[in-house]
Chains A and B, each alone.
Chain A
Amino acid sequence: MTKNDRLSRLLLELPWLIQNKNTSIDNFCAQFDISRDEANKDLSLLTYVGPGRFGGELVDIQYDDENISVIDSQGFDRPLRLNNIEAVLLLLGVRNLSEISKDKQEILDIDIKLSGLIESDIADEKYKQEYSNKKNRIKEAIANRKQLVIHYIDSHLKLTSERSITPIEIKTLDTKEYLTALDNNSSQKRTFRLDRIIEVAVVPLDALPQEITQNNIYSEKISLRTKSWNASNILDLNIPYTRSGDQLHIEMDLIDPEYLLEIILRLDDKTEIVCSKKMKSNLQKMLSDRIESIL
């Protein structure tokens, strides 16, 4: 081991020991891949360093053949920041785990924390804080069985007026969180993407019972066939699709032509669209209006 490797190791050891109180010397050796002799040398050196030269100004670590305890870390009580590549490695590892894990929520929490450590041009601490506050208010309402009033950006990117809902649960799909709730006006179950909920207010009214009204809503079976690489463009829409070779197939019952148009515009102009003539002519009209109106 070079001296620089040793310095890096010493800088890792102290915060690690603080986070792993009363660890055994054997575990310490195993974690840092060092012998007992090297561990003793490292621990001994760490007790010689500090901001001054005297007892109270030096790091204090008590250790014997069995256990190690940090008594005074001399201000070095927070771990070193992960560099970009370290955070990326852990994040990719966590995402790999998410494919096999059942607890998507905890994995997403870690994903969010790690993502915050990776350089990003649009990292926005204020937005993340607001998101976290919003989520906490929803969780609180679910736990206390209360109603909520929300403002929401719908799939057409339009801000809806106030909606009164009874929150049921927060679910995680891929990298997004969704709130399943009962729309108190229509008594229909709805799913809201959490990042599209703009405002949340808990109202002092008890949650409504989850009796879903079966309305006769007209929907149409839609089929879209396109190239598989277009999948990345529709990930955030949370729509079901299947992939076969370089083909991607979306099949769904759809009520809203505007939503269908949003999906189509994310694909490419070689997409095969199967729907009714009425729906197609509706979509053509919407597109023509958009072409006409653009300034």
Chain B
Amino acid sequence: MSVSKSERILNLFFVLINSKRPIPRHEIRQKVNGYEECESETAFERMFERDKDELRNTGIKIDAVPIDPLFDDELGYQVDSKTFLTKTVEWTPSERAILSLASTTWHRTEFENLAKSATLKTGGSINLKSSDENKEIYSGELLKFRSIMKSLNTKSVMDFKYVSFDDNEPKSRQVIPKKLYRQGDNWYFDAYELISTTWKTYQTSRIVGEIIIKPASAIELNLLKKDNNQTLPRTVRVEINQNASLISHITGGTAIGERTIDFKFFDEKSFAKYLLRFSSIIVSIDNDAIREYYKKYLKDFVKVLSHD
């Protein structure tokens, strides 16, 4: 009886996850039930490539690595270790119940199916009724995130007002977002700004008011394609009067020496403003522009305090 495509791909997956070493192609052809039907080596290779793509589409990445670390002439295949949930993340039954309930937040939205699939991966149930089934009430925060994710998924333009670190008033921004992530307590997204035609990082909590989603024009999408190189952050070294390795989880950055931290930054003015909160421990800043802005901001606050 011939083996179905799903069956063959699952067999490939099981052969790979049950091997402690990368498996060469010829061995895969022998071991995986379904590949024996290939009439030629070329037919097998084509089928194998298609199967790897199918697995990749489901989130399972197959890596090709040299079988012998000293010689890279023969490649073997293995499932990327990041495919599975790490052993350190295990959900208790009560956590699963909370996750199931949390996923109902996305009922009747464009993210319903993704949220369901995520819940099933945690072992949770998806047939729970939403706590507020008949109402679609989202907090302002959640609405904001929904807009960002909607725009991420559809490559649309987000139109919103934003207060950057060096602004005192919100300014209008039109961006196409690329990636949403969290660092510490804050959420950020990297996005292409259409007016300045540069890549920038935005903190979600600094968005003021509503986000309007608009389809991107062909010109805007082309612009995005052409300018796909995100600006790389620069580094500034800051000396402090405390043990850097003990506090870098609070300040951000990477502890380099006993009393120095390297920070990544994009914009001198904004970064100088960020550093103000650590001014009680800062001894030196090895970037002239940042240091000058930093001093200027401190002087501005001296002025604020001179008002009665």
Please indicate the chain A residues that have their CB under 8 angstroms from the CB of B252 in the complex: 122
A3 touches B5 (CB 8 A): yes
A235 touches B185 (CB 8 A): yes
B227 contacts chain A at the CB level, 8 A cutoff: no
Interface residues in B257-308 by Cβ distance below 8 A to A read 276-285, 291, 294-295, 297-307
B58 contacts chain A at the CB level, 8 A cutoff: yes
Interface centre among B5, B121, B249, B284 (most CB of A within 10 A): B121
B203 touches A159 (CB 8 A): no
Nearest CB of A to B254, in Å = 9
Q: Give B residues with C-beta under 8 Å from A.
A: 4-7, 9-11, 13-15, 17-19, 31, 33, 54-55, 57-60, 82-89, 91, 94-96, 98-99, 101-106, 111, 114-115, 117-123, 125-127, 131, 138-139, 141-142, 145, 149, 152-153, 163, 168, 170, 179-186, 203, 205-206, 208, 239, 242-243, 246-247, 249-252, 276-285, 291, 294-295, 297-307
Q: Which residue of B has the minimal Cβ distance to A236?
A: B185
Please indicate the chain B residues that have their CB under 8 angstroms from the CB of A19 in the complex: 96, 123
Please indicate the chain B residues that have their CB under 8 angstroms from the CB of A232 in the complex: 186, 203, 205-206
Please indicate the chain A residues that have their CB under 8 angstroms from the CB of B141 in the complex: 95
Please indicate the chain A residues that have their CB under 8 angstroms from the CB of B138 in the complex: 96
A265 touches B242 (CB 8 A): no
Q: A92-B145, A96-B139, A97-B101 are in contact. Are A86 and B305 (CB under 8 A)?
A: no
Please indicate the chain A residues that have their CB under 8 angstroms from the CB of B118 in the complex: 82, 86-87, 89-90
Interface centre among A16, A90, A261 (most CB of B within 10 A): A90
B168 touches A269 (CB 8 A): yes
Q: A20-B123, A97-B101, A196-B250 are in contact. Are A156 and B95 (CB under 8 A)?
A: no
Interface residues in A68-109 by Cβ distance below 8 A to B read 74-76, 78-97, 99-100, 106-107, 109
CA distance A232 to B204 in the complex (A): 9
Please indicate the chain B residues that have their CB under 8 angstroms from the CB of A74 in the complex: 14, 18
Q: Chain B interface mostly helix, strand, loop or mixed?
A: helix
Task: Tell me the count of chain A residues lying within 8 A, CB to CB, of chain B.
Answer: 106
Q: Which residue of A has the minimal Cβ distance to B111?
A: A89
Nearest CB of B to A262, in Å = 6
CA distance A10 to B98 in the complex (A): 24
CA distance A115 to B182 in the complex (A): 8
* A to B CB contacts below 8 Å, 13 in the list: A3-B6, A11-B13, A59-B14, A93-B103, A99-B139, A107-B98, A109-B95, A158-B280, A195-B250, A229-B163, A284-B305, A291-B299, A294-B283
Q: Which residue of B has the minimal Cβ distance to A129?
A: B88
Which of A47-55, A163-171, A201-209, A212-220 makes up part of the contact surface? A47-55
B17 touches A75 (CB 8 A): yes
B302 touches A110 (CB 8 A): no
A294 touches B294 (CB 8 A): yes
A110-128 interface mask toward B, CB cutoff 8 Å, 1 = contact, 0 = none? 1001011111111010010
A294 touches B84 (CB 8 A): no
